[in-house]
Amino acid sequence: MQTINTNGKLLNISKPIIAGILNITPDSFFDGGKYTNINAVRNRIKQIISEGAEIIDIGAYSSRPGAKHISEKEELQRLIPVLELIVKDFSNTIISLDTFRSEIAKIAVNNYEVAIINDISAGNIDKKMLPTIAKLNVPYIMMHMKGTPKNMQKNPKYKDLIKEIIKFFAEKIQHTRQLGVNDVIIDPGFGFGKTIEHNYQILNELEKFRILDCPILVGISRKSMIYKVLNSSPKDALSASLALNMTALEKGANILRVHDVKETMQVISVFKKLKKIDKKRTIGKD
């Protein structure tokens, strides 16, 4: 059984689970501005939990291309009321915090029971992040990003896309292991320094990342890699998001980071049924 340790509780990720997205930013690409007051946040948390997500992934810094840079102080000002609400009313919830700042990670884990840190830069933006994670002893989601949110989509190029990303992760994983980090989750970083073609190649070859022997998180929900292909918009990208999430599951994704928890739970349910049938057929052949 594959598990990660979240605040002393073992979370089973042998079967796929969902991280429901809670963006408390005014400018995220899909739901920016929807959850900037505490009542809306409370209702969103209730929704994510009731629809079956195991993790709530909170972000207070928008990392979409061209998003406004905010200070550490402003990120904390957005976060603290939400974290206080969760500690008070949703204390058994597993919270993942989307931040690349080590000081914010430290405050969130030590003061507000945050269980997982999700870093879009894998420690490249804040060099103190990896030693901080080791001291905090929490699971760490490391994402691959070429460049920074400001410049990542300016003509990203690779000589060998998959090999380069796997090499990046192999080096980062080795470093975190040396520091004493036990639970590392990898995120290939769809849309972060990749063209549309790069994104689809990564998804098509996702099973190759299993060589790293770490759980894989996939975050493609309603992204431009989907709606640009459809000549559409994020709000019209649900069906295609679900289709690609099924592909991600087939290729070994452990965690799906999504906006639409209920619908993605349905995808996971039929995926599990499909795998049960496959297993029975295999046993029957033996």
Rounded (5°) CA angle 262-26-187: 55
Give me 10's structure tokens.
């073992």
Dihedral sign for Cα atoms in the order 233, 239, 240, 244: positive
From 223, 235, 262, 285, the catalytic residue? 223
Residues 47, 34: Cα–Cα separation, whole Å: 14
Q: Provide the 8-state DSSP code for 84.
A: H
Distance CA 104, CA 84 (A): 14
Q: Is 42 considered catalytic here?
A: no
Are 145 and 122 spatial neighbours (Cβ–Cβ below 8 Å)?
yes
Q: How far is CA 153 from the centre of its chain?
A: 19
N-terminal to C-terminal alpha carbon distance within the chain? 24
Q: Is 208 a catalytic residue?
A: no
DSSP 180-225: T---EEEE--TTSS--HHHHHHHHHTGGGGGGG-S-BEE--TT-HH
- Classify burial at 258, counting beta carbons within 10 Å of its beta carbon; exposed 0-12, middle 13-18, buried 19 or more: buried
Active site amino acids: 223, 257
